[in-house]
Amino acid sequence: MPSIINAEKKIATWLYLCCFMVFAMAVVGAVTRLTESGLSMVEWRPLMGWIPPLAEQEWQRVYGLYRESPEFAHKHSWMEIGDFKKIFFWEWFHRLIGRLIGVVYAVPLLWFWIKGQIPAGYKWKLSGLLLLGGAQGVLGWYMVTSGLIDRPDVSHFRLAAHLALALLIFALMWWVALTLREHKTPLVAVSRFSLLHGLTALGLLSVTIIWGAFTAGLDAGMIYNSFPLMDQSFMPPEPLNILKEQSWVQFTHRWLAVLTGLTILLFAWRTRLWPPAIMVSLQIGLGIATLLGQVPVPLAALHQAGAIVLLALMLQALRKVKNGLS
């Protein structure tokens, strides 16, 4: 029995490390988007793309490919190769972290499997996460291709799908790690309604994050930089379209965030689990500051990071509530 428990702790620690790497990749992905670096690499070389260009000849080759892209033609025609290298770095770094996650996940998984240390019922879960990681790489390239044909930006729907899958992978790994390391502790005022309340908050948080991706993909944070009003009115004057119209996408995101915040605060009050309440308050503050500042890169990246931290804290709280019911 002690050896089984020790193996579970090792697997949980490994999964926490992978979660941190996914967290880092998502934050770097936000910086990549904010610095308009995501379309700088117009090739997908999953096996050969580990090393960036080292020789000047190779830099000229990749720069020449970028010069043929819609983004260069419509937005970055002023860029010289020195400017190109700066945006190339962020996209290359983002992809490098993805490759490293694959190695850090796959190699220990194989080792645990060979040693027979994976607990019963977890082999299919851990294997499924590996498949989701591979799908994420394909989805990332599918997202990039939307900006390489006839438009200088990636589809905000594909961007949202890419982020959603990353957070799904993070959430599943985090949940499995919590399950392996859980210690059942009594909670205050735990009921099945508390679990339903928490699941509702988690659902609202997920939808809010998706609309945050829509907001980033459409550069919707660059307009109506006031809060709570949008200039002088509560709602924007543009035609209603919460999926494609910049102003309405921003409006939906900001008030989904408020609704999510209130729901999480009430959940924390009901369960006496305060970390999500503290984090959601900080996250809303970061969101407002990002909007008022017209999306400065450091604040916007922190806002992305805050969303993932809040997701982790909500999952941890839900795990405790579930334990209190069992």
Question: Could you read off the pLDDT of 44-66 as tens digits, one per residue?
Answer: 887 777 889 999 999 999 999 99
Provide the domain limits for residue 131: 1-181
Q: How is residue 215 written in tokens?
A: 């907001």
Residues 173-227: tens digit of each pLDDT: 999 999 998 755 555 557 789 999 999 999 999 999 999 999 999 999 999 999 9
The pTM score is 0.93
Res 153: pLDDT: 86
Determine contact, residues 40/91, Cβ cutoff 8 Å. Answer: yes
pLDDT average, residue stretch 256-279: 96
Domain end (from 158, 181, 204): 181
Res 184: pLDDT: 54
Angle made by CA atoms 286, 290, 295, in degrees to the nearest 5: 150
Res 5: pLDDT: 60
Q: State how far the Cα of 315 lies from the Cα of 87, in Å rounded to an integer.
A: 35
- Do both 145 and 29 map to the same domain? yes
The model's confidence at residue 4, banded by pLDDT at 50, 70 and 90, is: low
Res 191: pLDDT: 79
Residue 1 has pLDDT above 50, yes or no: no
One-letter amino acid for residue 259 of the chain: L
Compare 79 and 182 and report the one with higher pLDDT.
Answer: 79
Q: 230 pairs with which residues across the strands?
A: 233
- What is the chain's percent helix, strand, coil content, to nearest 5? 70, 0, 25
- Do both 107 and 1 map to the same domain? yes
One-letter amino acid for residue 197 of the chain: H
Q: State how far the Cα of 101 lies from the Cα of 150, in Å rounded to an integer.
A: 32
pLDDT average, residue stretch 114-143: 94
Query: Which stretches within 35-122 are classed as H helix?
Result: 56-67, 70-74, 81-114
Domain end (from 129, 163, 181): 181
Using alpha carbons, list the distances in angstroms from residue 40 to 80, 82, 321.
Answer: 13, 13, 45
Tell me how many domains the chain contains. 2
Res 7: pLDDT: 86
In 3D space, the residue among 251, 180, 189 whose CA is nearest the CA of residue 220 turns out to be 251
Write down the mean pLDDT value for the chain.
Answer: 92
- Do both 177 and 191 map to the same domain? no
- Do both 248 and 157 map to the same domain? no
The residue with tokens 């209190």 is: 324
- Do both 90 and 25 map to the same domain? yes
pLDDT average, residue stretch 285-295: 97
The model's confidence at residue 324, banded by pLDDT at 50, 70 and 90, is: confident
Res 189: pLDDT: 55
Determine contact, residues 74/148, Cβ cutoff 8 Å. Answer: no
- Do both 164 and 193 map to the same domain? no
- Do both 50 and 74 map to the same domain? yes
- Do both 140 and 200 map to the same domain? no
- Do both 200 and 56 map to the same domain? no
Residue 299 has pLDDT above 80, yes or no: yes
